């Protein structure tokens, strides 16, 4: 496909005419008047792929992208084991020996202790991602925090799964995804106090800036468990925003505040949900909801 570029202001280096033509297939730029081919080539702005009429599979030719969730960040070396060159001809015996030796060294380079650590940790991370329905941004952030912990040598004396779970909780806090320590503890079968201890270690040693949890984000989560209507959820959101403006919510458990605001809004809208229902959905006690109830009721 050959087309003429009208918006190019450059002129031909030989005759000075501005009739430059670009060949989209080869990327060459040549003059339409004298035929002079420019030494500079135009890079293709299209996607990094090639397609064929009968190709229904994956058309990408650049491989998997780089990611912190891969033990080698997606920059691994793959040596073709077929012992044939690009044209399909068999290699010579000396070249076969060279490639065999390269494969041995390549496999040895992937068996370092840090690589085995990353493989185990990121396998656990992907398992938690599926069970907790987390986004890719949270997973990437968790992998970044875990790599920083490895560089600080914080994994010594601690299990890989516990430190990875704590890094995931820190990533959820930074990104703003509403996941509690109890959720991660129930998924990983690790005690909550152990995860909390590892989390405090990561925050102190890596100097993480963790934002305060917004209790409004937990309203939809609690309401979806017991089927509260959208009108009640909006009213609970307004109550929590008023609580933040008056600083009543300072130092309080965000999950208990969300459950209490939903209980108040249920009473206002006439939905029949008890304190026990909301306490079980929010994983808090009824006493906590009654204590928060007195403070939030003053806002209405």
Q: What is the pLDDT of residue 4?
A: 42
In this prediction, residue 30 carries a pLDDT of 81
pLDDT, mean of residues 268-279: 87
Q: What tens digit of pLDDT does each residue of 186-229 get?
A: 999 999 999 999 999 999 999 988 887 778 888 888 888 888 88
Q: How confident is the model at residue 1 (pLDDT cuts 50, 70, 90)?
A: very low
Gyration radius from the chain CA atoms: 30
List CB contacts of 196: < 8 A, sequence separation 6 or more: 181
Q: What is the mean pLDDT of residues 113-128?
A: 89
Architecture of domain 2-41: Single Sheet (2.20)
* Same topology between domain 113-206 and domain 217-297: yes
CA distance 220 to 216: 8
| pLDDT score recorded for residue 50 | 52
Res. 139: pLDDT tops 80: yes
The string of pLDDT tens digits covering residues 226-272 is 888 888 889 888 888 888 887 777 777 888 888 888 988 988 888 88
CATH architecture classification, 113-206: Orthogonal Bundle (1.10)
Q: pTM score, two decimals?
A: 0.65
Average pLDDT estimate for 82-110: 83
Indicate if the pLDDT at residue 43 is higher than 60: no
Delimit the domains of the chain by residue range.
2-41, 113-206, 217-297
Homologous superfamily assigned to 217-297? Cyclin-like (1.10.472.10)
Strands, E, within the chain: which ranges? 2-4, 20-23, 28-31, 37-41
């Amino acid at each position: 496909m050959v087309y003429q570029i009208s918006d190019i202001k450059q002129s031909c280096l030989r005759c000075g005419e501005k009739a430059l033509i670009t060949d989209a297939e080869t990327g060459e730029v040549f003059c339409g008047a004298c035929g002079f081919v420019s030494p500079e080539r135009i890079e293709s702005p299209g996607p990094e792929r090639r397609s064929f009429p009968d190709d229904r599979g994956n058309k990408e030719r650049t491989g998997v992208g780089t990611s912190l969730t891969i033990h080698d960040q997606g920059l691994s070396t793959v040596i073709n084991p077929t012992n044939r060159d690009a044209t399909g001809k068999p290699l010579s015996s000396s070249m076969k020996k060279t490639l065999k030796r390269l494969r041995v060294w390549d496999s040895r380079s992937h068996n370092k202790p840090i690589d085995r650590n990353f493989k185990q940790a990121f396998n656990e991370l992907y398992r938690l991602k599926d069970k907790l329905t987390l986004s890719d941004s949270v997973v990437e952030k968790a992998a970044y925090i875990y790599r920083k912990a490895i560089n600080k040598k914080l994994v010594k004396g601690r299990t890989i799964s516990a430190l990875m779970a704590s890094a995931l909780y820190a990533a959820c806090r930074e990104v703003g995804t509403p996941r509690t320590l109890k959720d991660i503890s129930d998924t990983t079968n690790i005690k909550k106090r152990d995860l909390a201890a590892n989390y405090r270690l990561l925050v102190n040693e890596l100097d993480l800036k963790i934002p305060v949890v917004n209790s409004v984000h937990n309203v939809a989560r609690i309401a979806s468990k017991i089927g509260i209507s959208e009108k009640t959820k909006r009213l609970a959101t307004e109550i929590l925003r008023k609580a933040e403006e008056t600083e009543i919510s300072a130092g309080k458990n965000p999950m208990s505040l969300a459950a209490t605001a939903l209980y108040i809004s249920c009473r206002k809208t006439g939905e029949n949900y008890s304190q026990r229902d909301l306490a079980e959905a929010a994983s808090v006690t009824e006493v906590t909801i009654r204590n928060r109830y007195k403070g939030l009721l003053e806002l209405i």
